[in-house]
Chains A and B, each alone.
Chain A
Amino acid sequence: MATSKSAKFDIKTYGGFKAITMLCLLVLYAPLVVVTIYSFNASVSLTNWEGISLRWYVDVFTGPESEKFKIAALNSFVIAIIAATVSTMIATLAATAMIRGGKFKLRTVSFGLISLPLMVPEIVTAVATLIFFNSIGFDRGLMTIILAHTAFCIPFAYLPISARMQGVEDTYEQAALDLYATKRQAFTKILVPLMMPGIISGFILAFIVSLDDFIITNFVKGAGVETLPTAIFGSVKQGMKPNIMAISTMLLGVSVLMVTISYFVSKSDNTK
């Protein structure tokens, strides 16, 4: 009885459920699938299929544009690693202060301020950051990108970290203090290990956001400094070649890998 009744109201039985689901999946993933498939095309054409080949992947690493892409990729990874590391550390401390700091004045305001950048249009942040660097006379280059990325990655890193910290009861730290740990020991030996899944998720999210960023990077980068997204954009402006699809597919692969890691980390909940 109970099963038939619940089956009746099961959302799967609603009219058009399957069709709309399929449509959404198609819109979301069809372009990615097409790009991925055509990155293995043997043809010089973007759209004519001439058989499977790895020529465009080879082209990315050895072709005329390969130097440019290699430097851009190296820049991207260096920037992403530094920005993700620093922003994760700042976000961890911010979460500790805001969630473990008890009640303090402007606590709600602080919560708002740290997540507001997520809602601000990126172009506004980009322009503001550029104006800021100009006004303090900072030469644009790799350093400006790293600083800008670190700043805008903080709210992204903060989200999973604070969510995690809210799930860790403060009695664990109290128990540690009760058992003669100093505040620092309670933090490093108890709180940080318990927060680790959140910290890793925060790092990965920040890393991906930094790796993908185009708008802010394009504004604050110095002349001649390229990251993968800006290099790809520059290359596309001079005419689309299938090697772009190969790079995009590889970038997609990195993202998928990161998301997978993040998924398994969050599944291995060490408080349970």
Chain B
Amino acid sequence: MSGNDTNAIEVRDAVKRYGDFTALKQISLSIRDNEFFTLLGPSGCGKTTLLRMIAGFEDVTEGEIFLYGDEIENLPPNKRPVNTVFQNYALFPHLTILDNVAFGLEMRGSSKSEARARAGEMLELVQLSQFAARKPSQLSGGQQQRVALARALAPRPKVLLLDEPLSALDLKLRKAMQLELKHLQRETGITFIFVTHDQEEALTMSDRIAVMSAGELQQLGAPTDIYERPRNMFVADFIGETNLLEVSVDKIESGRAVCHLGGGHELTCDAVDGIGVGSKVHMSIRPERLYMSNEPEKDGSLHGRVKENIFIGTDISTIVELDDAPDFVVRTSNSDRGNKRIFEPGTDMFVNMEKGAARLLID
């Protein structure tokens, strides 16, 4: 059996068990060539386990892993043409920056001078040439991070694995590194597999995201797919902020589902495969796709009162107490304040949603 050659990594029915505990329950996914792919999920969801299985640090209990068509799950880490950027960087403290970056090349059989020349180029790429002779401890966290990147990229791996590499950096540096990583991926043309629990980071950087929870793949898709068309409760809740409503589906007509929630409110949205008439399901509506008005604007307008306005820099988040439904959060961009209304707490108003904002979720 051979894998599909066009995929950088193909995981087939991979299972990982530690004794009685199943860390990964039959995961199958394909990662394309030259893709920035992210494994996203809360801690303990199995994302790091999967990454370490691809790197070769964890045995695969069941299933197969292919790297550009070659079966690799039984190879030791040093025989797999993939390199890892570790969460704590794991730079060799007793070696200089240059020797750290040259290490992989030397171990692969390059001559010392060849390895150092290439290491020098890599340090130039991450703009750390002037630190070549220093030890890792003499560098800042952000610089160490870039050295770890240069070290992992120097042997020209077919796939680069990144295990939450930005989690130790402060917010500003993290944002800068997110962009740098993305550019580096484009420049080198190497497939990146990035592990993170930070959904914002995943949305910013990735070509595609695999959302994982409890050892299972919840959804796989482009950032916009995952954000705008979450498949289930977990994904909708985990990615970004959302309003979740319990609704029952009354009827389905030409791809549109008519749902009602308590108090006789009726809402219409796109039908979803697997959700039939009569089912009680959840509906997700992103706060930024809601707006407020004095008078009901359409059928779907919900009556309520403003509870609180929270200023969060670029946006204002308004908590609305609805009749016969749980509280809603409405987000209004500061730049939209001319068009969209902000109401004082206590004001009676109506909440309206943009077309296509509501999304039915499988539980």
- Give chain A's interface residues, CB within 8 Å of chain B: 169, 171-172, 174-182, 185, 190, 193-194, 270-272
Contact B93 A179 (CB under 8 A): no
- Name B90's contact: one of A174, A270, A272 (CB within 8 Å): A174
Contacts of B155 in A (CB 8 A): 179-180
Contact B103 A179 (CB under 8 A): yes
The answer for the CA separation of A181 and B100 in the assembled complex, in Å, is 13
Contact A178 B137 (CB under 8 A): no
The 9 closest A-B pairs by CB, nearest first: A179-B104, A175-B90, A171-B90, A180-B107, A177-B77, A271-B93, A181-B107, A180-B108, A270-B94
Shortest B159–chain A CB gap in Å is 12
Known: A178-B78, A178-B82, A178-B104. 11 other contacts (CB 8 A): A169-B88, A171-B90, A177-B57, A178-B57, A178-B84, A179-B83, A180-B108, A181-B103, A182-B78, A271-B94, A272-B137
Contact B88 A171 (CB under 8 A): yes
Contact B78 A180 (CB under 8 A): yes
The answer for the CA separation of A271 and B92 in the assembled complex, in Å, is 8
Contacts of B76 in A (CB 8 A): 177
The answer for the CA separation of A270 and B135 in the assembled complex, in Å, is 10
Contact B77 A174 (CB under 8 A): yes
B55 contacts partner chain A, Cβ-Cβ < 8 Å: yes
Contacts of B103 in A (CB 8 A): 176, 179, 181
Shortest A262–chain B CB gap in Å is 19
- The winner among A174, A175, A185 for most chain B CB atoms within 10 A is A175
B86 contacts partner chain A, Cβ-Cβ < 8 Å: yes
The answer for the CA separation of A270 and B55 in the assembled complex, in Å, is 27
A-B contact pairs, 17 of them (CB 8 A): A169-B90, A171-B88, A172-B90, A172-B92, A174-B90, A175-B84, A175-B91, A178-B77, A178-B104, A179-B83, A179-B151, A179-B152, A180-B155, A181-B78, A182-B107, A194-B92, A271-B93
Contacts of B104 in A (CB 8 A): 178-180
Interface size on B, residues (CB 8 A): 24
Contacts of A193 in B (CB 8 A): 94
Shortest B109–chain A CB gap in Å is 8
What is the chain A residue whose CB lies nearest that of B87?
A171
What is the chain B residue whose CB lies nearest that of A168?
B93
What is the chain B residue whose CB lies nearest that of A171?
B90
- The winner among A177, A180, A190, A272 for most chain B CB atoms within 10 A is A180
Contacts of B108 in A (CB 8 A): 180
What is the chain A residue whose CB lies nearest that of B151?
A179
What is the chain B residue whose CB lies nearest that of A186?
B78
Contact A178 B83 (CB under 8 A): yes
Contact B107 A185 (CB under 8 A): yes
The answer for the CA separation of A185 and B109 in the assembled complex, in Å, is 13
Contacts of B55 in A (CB 8 A): 178
Contacts of B83 in A (CB 8 A): 178-179
Contact B107 A174 (CB under 8 A): no
Render B176-196 as a binary contact track against A, CB cut-off 8 A, 1 for contact: 000000000000000000000
The answer for the CA separation of A171 and B151 in the assembled complex, in Å, is 15
Shortest B111–chain A CB gap in Å is 15
What is the chain A residue whose CB lies nearest that of B93?
A271
Render B47-85 as a binary contact track against A, CB cut-off 8 A, 1 for contact: 000000001110000000000000000001110001110
Shortest B244–chain A CB gap in Å is 39
Shortest A179–chain B CB gap in Å is 3
Contacts of A177 in B (CB 8 A): 56-57, 76-78
Contacts of B94 in A (CB 8 A): 193-194, 270-271
Shortest B200–chain A CB gap in Å is 26
Contacts of A169 in B (CB 8 A): 88, 90
- Name B93's contact: one of A174, A176, A178, A194 (CB within 8 Å): A194
Render B91-107 as a binary contact track against A, CB cut-off 8 A, 1 for contact: 11110000000011001
- Name A270's contact: one of B56, B93, B107 (CB within 8 Å): B93
Shortest B282–chain A CB gap in Å is 41
Contacts of A190 in B (CB 8 A): 92
Contacts of A179 in B (CB 8 A): 78, 83, 103-104, 107, 151-152, 155
Contacts of A181 in B (CB 8 A): 78, 103, 107
Shortest A124–chain B CB gap in Å is 41
What is the chain A residue whose CB lies nearest that of B80?
A178
The answer for the CA separation of A2 and B94 in the assembled complex, in Å, is 40
Contacts of A175 in B (CB 8 A): 84, 86, 90-92
Contact B86 A171 (CB under 8 A): yes
Shortest A60–chain B CB gap in Å is 42
